[in-house]
A and B are shown apart, each in its own frame.
Chain A
Amino acid sequence: MSPAFAIARREGGELLTSPRGLAWLLAAAFAFTGFALLLVGSTQLGLLDNAQVVYDMAGMTIALGALLTAVMGVDAVAGDRERGALLPLLATAAPRRAILLGKLGGQALAWLAMVALALPYLWAVGSTGQNLGAALVGLVLLGTPVALAIGAGAMALGARLRSARAALLSALIGLMLVASPLAIGPSLRQSALGRGFDAVNPFSGAVNALDAMVIDGQALAAQGWHLALVFGWLALAYGLALRALHAPRRPGEEIVS
């Protein structure tokens, strides 16, 4: 078994089988349930178009998945370092690229668990089902790189910053910033600043593509720029994480010093 696969299985399995991981999924389920109950409990929200509700639920899934990978990313490096588990891992013969890929693989499993958790909710709110396919394709093709880019960015922060707490705080603040398009609708982002932010923000890329596919019924092929944006950020975050795992924070200082 390759080191990357073994690490991915351990990290992902920890989430899916440990009580702590199940508690996280339960908390995410409560968030989905709260949103779903809001929809059926309010006449105004209940009149939202079916496609709009599916889009909202898909955006919420990406946000929750990104939150999960951000926490896992910080924990995978800074948490392991504070528990004394990182040094033995780095001391093995496994190349750091394989270690990084393994930890990202664990986050990918967690993200897939989040998508699986969201599926029944998407089915429930998408009454007629005509938008479900587009939402699922969008979640997998656009949500996955966003969640993994945030996870990789969190790993880079975990490697660069001295304490896990500082890394976690920085990662969560960064996540709130990039996920702000969920709270600020497209019509409110039409200023030059809003458009500029949308043009470079991977989260905006994902939700704007979901908007176009789920609500406007556009084809995936028309989302080339959004796909390039989210995969570009994934490549950048991967490079930063790999560099942070390799390079010392300061001259003469190792990542686990």
Chain B
Amino acid sequence: MIRRTILAAGALAALFALAPPPARAADGAAPAPLEVTLAPDAANPPAPRMGDRLTYHAVIRNPSPTAEASGVVAWLTILRVDAGHEQAIDLEDWSANKALTIPALGPGGSARSDWSLRLIAPGTYRVLVSAATRDAPVPAIGTGAIFSIAPKPVVESARVLPVALGVPAALALLLVARLFAGRRGAAPEA
């Protein structure tokens, strides 16, 4: 996890370090930050449970009428907001599409992306999609509404493992004992 974060940070740093000088608008002003809007899919379950899927649609827009936004990177963030459990969630199991790159967004241009989530753990969450460019100093963020994931009973490894390993082991012992007893019974008397 730490190594992945370092690698991701390194890749982003390299992207920004190797980037050409910031593109300026025709009037020489700094490029305007991107705009990100995020909306849930109409088919999302109204009361999601663990295991359900949610889809969000993000639109990343370059509001500048003159400057191109180049090297756009957009990424998904899931925040758990339950009191006492606040944290950013590792997307490992939650989403397969974690980041998106757009080489360039022309003046006034926009790009649409869909983000699919598999709800892994119960709790209250907020989804964010952030977008940064080589030039904008601060990423633009689009936020979704807070949603709660209801728990559901699923398989508990702590119960399964002892049974899954114990039953065959017990039967194997019984079989060995039976074979051993059979051999002793069949042995000729001295």
Residues of A participating in the B interface, judged by any CB pair closer than 8 Å: 17-19, 22-23, 25-26, 29-30, 32-33, 36-37, 39-40, 43-50, 53, 117, 120-121, 123-125, 127-128, 130
Judging by beta carbons under 8 Å apart, are A33 and B165 in contact?
A: yes
Q: Smallest distance from the beta carbon of B167 to chain A beta carbons, Å?
A: 5
Judging by beta carbons under 8 Å apart, are B160 and A39 in contact?
A: yes
Judging by beta carbons under 8 Å apart, are A48 and B155 in contact?
A: yes
| Distance, CA A125 to CA B163, complexed state (A) | 10
Q: Smallest distance from the beta carbon of B94 to chain A beta carbons, Å?
A: 10
Within 8 Å by CB of B155, from A18, A30, A50, lies A50
Main secondary structure on A side of the interface with B: helix
Judging by beta carbons under 8 Å apart, are A36 and B154 in contact?
A: no
Interface code B80-109, partner A: CB below 8 Å = 1, 0 otherwise? 000000000000010000000000000000
Judging by beta carbons under 8 Å apart, are A26 and B163 in contact?
A: no
- Which residues does chain B contribute within 8 Å of A130, judged by CB atoms? 153
Within 8 Å by CB of A43, from B120, B153, B179, lies B120
Task: Please give me the residue from chain B that is nearest to A131 by CB atom.
Answer: B153
Judging by beta carbons under 8 Å apart, are B154 and A46 in contact?
A: yes
| Distance, CA A47 to CA B120, complexed state (A) | 7
Q: Smallest distance from the beta carbon of B157 to chain A beta carbons, Å?
A: 4
Judging by beta carbons under 8 Å apart, are A127 and B154 in contact?
A: yes
Judging by beta carbons under 8 Å apart, are A121 and B167 in contact?
A: yes
Task: Please give me the residue from chain B that is nearest to A33 by CB atom.
Answer: B164
Judging by beta carbons under 8 Å apart, are B167 and A33 in contact?
A: yes
Residues of B participating in the A interface, judged by any CB pair closer than 8 Å: 50-51, 93, 118, 120, 152-157, 159-168, 171-172, 174-175, 178-179, 182
Within 8 Å by CB of A47, from B51, B161, B171, B175, lies B51
Q: List 30 A-B contacts (CB under 8 A).
A: A22-B171, A23-B175, A25-B171, A26-B171, A26-B172, A29-B167, A29-B168, A29-B171, A30-B168, A32-B164, A33-B167, A36-B163, A36-B164, A39-B160, A40-B164, A46-B154, A49-B154, A50-B152, A50-B153, A50-B155, A120-B163, A120-B166, A120-B167, A121-B164, A123-B159, A124-B159, A124-B162, A125-B155, A127-B154, A127-B156
- Which residues does chain A contribute within 8 Å of B154, judged by CB atoms? 46-50, 53, 127
Within 8 Å by CB of A46, from B155, B159, B178, lies B155
| Distance, CA A248 to CA B19, complexed state (A) | 89
Known pairs A19-B178, A19-B182; A127 contacts B153 (CB<8 A): yes
| Distance, CA A25 to CA B164, complexed state (A) | 14
- Which residues does chain B contribute within 8 Å of A44, judged by CB atoms? 118
Task: Please give me the residue from chain A that is nearest to B51 by CB atom.
Answer: A47
- Which residues does chain A contribute within 8 Å of B155, judged by CB atoms? 39-40, 45-46, 48, 50, 53, 125, 127
Judging by beta carbons under 8 Å apart, are A125 and B160 in contact?
A: yes
| Distance, CA A34 to CA B51, complexed state (A) | 22
| Distance, CA A17 to CA B162, complexed state (A) | 25
Q: Smallest distance from the beta carbon of B57 to chain A beta carbons, Å?
A: 24
